[in-house]
Structure 1
Amino acid sequence: MAGIIHPFYESHRADMEAAMRHRLDLAEAMLRARAHLTDMDGIKREVMDEFEIVLTQMPYVGGTASRMSDFFMRLMGFIAIGRVLRRHGVSLSVIGEIERETYKAQLLTVPEAERFASGREFMSSENQTLLREQAAKSHQNGFPEDFVYDFVEPGPDDNFEFGINYTACGFCKFAARHGDKEILPSICGLDFDAYATRGIRLERTQTLAGGASHCNFRFSRVSKD
Structure 2
Amino acid sequence: MAEVIHPFYESHRVEMEAAMRERLDHAQAMLRERAQLADTDAIRREVMDEFAIVLTQMPYVGGTASRMSDFFMRLLGFMAISRVLRRHGVPLAEIGEIEREAYKAQLLALPEAERLAAGRQFMSPENQALLREQAAMSTTARHRGEFPADFVYDFVEPGPGDDFDFGIDYKSCGFCKFAARHGDKDILPNLCGLDFDAYATRGIRLHRTQTLAGGASHCDFRFSKLPPE
The TM-score normalised by the length of structure 1 is 0.99
Counterpart of 2:4 in structure 1: which amino acid? I
Residue in 1 aligned with 2:8? 8
CA shift for structure 1 position 177: 0.2
Is 1:163 the equivalent of 2:175? no
**Alignment partner of 1:178 is 2:182:** yes
Paired residue type of 2:64:
T
1:152 CA drift (Å): 0.3
Matched residue, 1:198: 202
1:33 positional shift: 1.1
CA drift of 1:2 comes to: 3.0
- CA shift, 1:157, in A, is 1.0
Residue 39 of structure 1: aligned partner: 39
RMSD: 0.7
Distance in 2, matches of 1:208 and 1:79, equals: 17
Pairing 1:51–2:51 present: yes
Aligned equivalent of 1:86 = 86
**Which 5+ residue runs of structure 1 have no aligned equivalent?**
none
Aligned residues: 225
Runs of 4 or more above 2 Å deviation: none
1:70 shift after superposition: 0.3
Q: 1:153 aligns with which of 157, 170, 173?
A: 157
Match of 1:221 in 2: 225
Instruction: Tell me the amino acid that sits aligned with residue 163 of structure 2.
Output: N
Deviation of residue 218 (structure 1)?
Answer: 0.2
TM-score (norm 2): 0.97
The secondary structure found in structure 2 opposite 1:16 is helix
5+ unaligned residues in a row in structure 2: which ranges? none
Equivalent in the alignment of 2:139:
139
Q: 2: CA distance between counterparts of 1:19 and 1:29? A: 17
Percent sequence identity is 78
Residue aligning to 2:76: 76
- 2:110 pairs with 1:110: yes
